[in-house]
Structure 1
Amino acid sequence: MRFNSNLVLLPSGEALLCNGVEKVEDDDTAVLEPELLKKAGSGWEWDQGAFPRASVPRNYHSTALLMPDGRVFTGGGNINAKPGGRDVRRLNLEIYEPWYVCRNRPRLLNVPERVSHGERLSVDVRGPEPITRLALIRCGSATHAFNSDQRYLGLVAHETGPGRYSAEVPSAVVAVPGYYLLFACTAGNVPSKGVFIRVGR
């Protein structure tokens, strides 16, 4: 059991769980081992060996967010969940590198700055493998161990020409208007680096 943790959706379709403690007001019970939630057959499983241990405990008010290159930064936290100023805050950060960072990744090109709901989003992709989906990940805003903004939209990508792919953008009910990171993903779930795009008017 971990309290005050952070969950980050990754462009590979997986999720990183990090930060947190077993007892809310005791950093000595910090859970330093990040966990990766990944597909396993027809279900999901937790992989506790996918990332190195965190170097410091991160308790209440810690945060973790997806970076455009697909890495995850994590920082902050109040020592032993105490309120107060700088003397009880962790003023540093760490960066996690998921398995795909060192792979030969696709490259997104010619991404529009904005796309409307119901439109076809078209991009160029260069890389060693074909693309099977375009992933829209809404920019996160984590606070109090919860990220209410992030969402992952995996859009089926159709090749419309050599290296040219398109996918339909869902309605505003699904794709809440705002800024997203767009990733191109292979069948092996290797994502490109992300490009910011605005969805909606």
Structure 2
Amino acid sequence: MRSHKAFTLLEVLISITLMGIVIVALFSTVDMLQDSNQQLSEHLKKSKTISKAVKVLYADLMDSDGNITIQKEEMSRVCIEKTRHSLYALSEAKVCWVVLKEGNILVRIEGNGYHLPLLEDEKVEINPVMSEMKLFDLYHEKDKVLVLLQQKGKEPISFMLQGITKPAAKSSSSKTPPATPPAIQPPATSPTTPPPAPNPLQVPPQG
């Protein structure tokens, strides 16, 4: 019978060591793939959020009546008095886009006839849109609106809309009172001269 040579203890230890190195390398590769997939998923999610926010802002402006108020502060605050684009099934809505100072969060406020800052009895819907805003600015000139926005560490986004005309200012027409007809003057009459009174000192002529 042929005798089979067994592995020595040294060979077994070397095999176990090599297998351990391979397993550690495999686990490291799996962790890297998981991190990469997670980062890619977060990036796609943020990109989808930014794309959706841009579409909503675009629709708010495009369906507006042109009555747009832009306040220039550290970042712009835009209020659209009337827009047909509503996220809550309103026929017409007032929509404001504001960047909150805490966290630089861009929020969208929708309601009807509210004021900023909000009063106690005013009900609105507030939706956080984007965080860590670095730039949010709008310009309205004639029938064009330019929008600039950028998140911290992201590429800036800009787009322009045309055909959004500002409503014409209402001219305060002064109402003129109706003209009064001229008064009818009575016909002028010449005063009658009374006959001269007889002179008592005058001597009548002799016949």
Query: Common fold, TM-score beyond 0.5?
Result: no
Kindly indicate which of the two structures has a greater share of residues assigned to helix: 2
Q: Which of the two has higher C-alpha Rg?
A: 2
Greater relative contact order (Cα < 8 A, sep 6+): 1
